[in-house]
Amino acid sequence: MFGFLLRRVGLVIPTFIGVSLVAFFFIRLLPGDPILLMAGERGLSPERYAELLTRFGFDRPIWEQYLGYLGALVQGDFGTSIVTKKPVMDEFFALFPATVELSICAILFAVVLGIPAGVIAAVKRGSGFDHGLMATALVGYSMPIFWWALLLIIVFSGILQWTPVSGRISLLYFFPSVTGFMLIDSLISGQKGAFASAASHLILPTIVLGTIPLAVIARQTRSAMLEVLSEDYIRTARAKGLSPFRVVGVHALRNALIPVVTTIGLQVGTLIAGAILTETIFSWPGIGKWMVDSIFRRDYPSVQGGLVLIAVMVMIVNLIVDMLYGLINPKIRYTR
Amino acid sequence: MKMATRLLAATILAASFATAAEAKTLVYCSEGSPEGFDPAPYAAGTTFDASSKPIYNRLTEFERGTTNVVPGLAEKWDVSADGKEYTFHLRKGVKFHTTDFFTPTRDFNADDVIFSFNRQNNKDDPWYGYAGGNWEYWVGMEMPALIKEMVKVDDYTVKLVLNEPNSPMLANLAMDFASIMSKEYADKLAADGKQADLNQAPVGTGPFQFVAYQKDAVIRYKANPEYWEGKQAIDDLIFAITTDPAVRIQKLKAGECHAAPYPNPADIEALKSDPAIQMLDQAGLNIGYLAYNTMMKPFDDVRVRKALNMAINKQAILDAVYQTSGQLATNPIPPTMWSYNDKTQDDPYDPEAAKKLLEEAGVKDLSMKVWAMPVSRPYNPNARRMAELIQSDFAAVGVKVEIVSFEWGEYLKRGQDKNRDGALLQGWTGDNGDPDNFLGVLLGCGGVGGSNRANWCDPAFDELIKKARTIADQGERAALYEQAQVIFKEQAPWATIAHSTTFMPLAKNVVNYKVDPLGSHRFDGVDITE
Contact B218, B8 (CB under 8 A): no
pLDDT in tens, B67-99: 999 999 999 999 999 999 999 999 999 999 999
pLDDT score at B20: 44
Cα Rg, chain B, nearest whole Å? 24
What integer is the mean pLDDT of A67-92? 89
Contact B220, B23 (CB under 8 A): no
Return the closest-CA partner of residue A153 out of B27, A145, A199: A145
Residue to mutate among A29, A36, A287, with most B CBs inside 10 A, is A36
Higher-confidence position of B5 and A52: A52
Residues A80 and B47: their CA atoms lie apart, in Å, by 19
From the list B32, B129, B132, which residue is nearest A82 (CB)? Answer: B132
H or E element at residue B221: strand B218-223
Taking an 8 Å cut-off on Cβ atoms, the answer to whether A298 and B42 are in contact is no
Task: Flag whether pLDDT at B3 surpasses 60.
Answer: no
Q: Give the pLDDT band of residue B8 (cuts 50, 70, 90).
A: very low
Residue to mutate among A44, A80, A93, A281, with most B CBs inside 10 A, is A44
Taking an 8 Å cut-off on Cβ atoms, the answer to whether B244 and A280 are in contact is yes
Q: Is B73 helix (H, G, I), strand (E, B) or coil?
A: coil
Lowest pLDDT segment from A67-81, B11-25, B352-366: B11-25
pLDDT in tens, A266-314: 887 788 888 888 999 999 999 988 998 898 888 999 999 998 888 888 8
Contacts of A99 in chain B (CB under 8 A): none
What integer is the mean pLDDT of A174-198? 90
Nearest CA in chain B to A154: B250
pLDDT score at A332: 66
Peptide bond into B298 cis (omega under 30): yes
Taking an 8 Å cut-off on Cβ atoms, the answer to whether A168 and B217 are in contact is yes
pLDDT score at B13: 47
Q: Give residue A20's Cα distance to chain centre.
A: 19
Domains present along chain B, CATH in parentheses: 55-199 (3.90.76.10), 286-502 (3.10.105.10)
pLDDT score at A334: 55
pTM of this prediction exceeds 0.95: no
Nearest CA in chain A to B426: A41
Q: What is the DSSP string of A131-163?
A: HHHHHHHHHHHH--HHHHHHHHIIIIIIIS--S
Q: Give the pLDDT band of residue B22 (cuts 50, 70, 90).
A: low
Higher-confidence position of A13 and A216: A216
Which burial class, exposed, middle or buried, applies to A139 when counting CB atoms under 10 A from its CB (0-12, 13-18, 19+)? exposed
pLDDT score at A286: 92
Contacts of A174 in chain B (CB under 8 A): 212, 220
Task: Flag whether pLDDT at B171 surpasses 70.
Answer: yes
- Percent pLDDT > 90 in chain B is 81
- Percent pLDDT > 90 in chain A is 38
Q: CB count, 10 Å around CB of B77?
A: 19
pLDDT score at B174: 96
From the list A38, A171, A282, which residue is nearest B238 (CB)? Answer: A171
Higher-confidence position of B143 and A313: B143
Taking an 8 Å cut-off on Cβ atoms, the answer to whether A157 and B250 are in contact is yes
Separation in Å, CA of B388 to nearest CA in chain A: 22
Separation in Å, CA of B71 to nearest CA in chain A: 27
Lowest pLDDT segment from A36-50, A238-252, B195-209, B246-260: A36-50
What integer is the mean pLDDT of A17-22? 88
From the list B132, B240, B409, which residue is nearest A37 (CB)? Answer: B409
pLDDT score at B9: 47
Contacts of B35 in chain A (CB under 8 A): 83-84
Task: Flag whether pLDDT at B15 surpasses 70.
Answer: no
From the list A41, A168, A281, which residue is nearest B426 (CB)? Answer: A41
pLDDT score at B37: 96
Mean pLDDT, all residues of chain B: 92
pLDDT in tens, A80-135: 898 888 899 999 999 999 999 999 999 999 999 999 999 999 999 999 999 999 99
Return the closest-CA partner of residue B374 out of B383, B387, B362: B383
pLDDT score at B141: 87
From the list B32, B134, B254, which residue is nearest A52 (CB)? Answer: B134
Task: Flag whether pLDDT at A40 surpasses 80.
Answer: no
pLDDT in tens, B318-358: 999 988 788 999 999 999 999 999 999 999 999 999 999 99
Taking an 8 Å cut-off on Cβ atoms, the answer to whether B247 and A283 are in contact is yes
Phi, psi of B118 (to 5 degrees): -65, -35
Q: What is the ipTM of this complex?
A: 0.86
Taking an 8 Å cut-off on Cβ atoms, the answer to whether B244 and A37 are in contact is no
Residues A214 and A219: their CA atoms lie apart, in Å, by 9
Task: Flag whether pLDDT at A159 surpasses 80.
Answer: yes
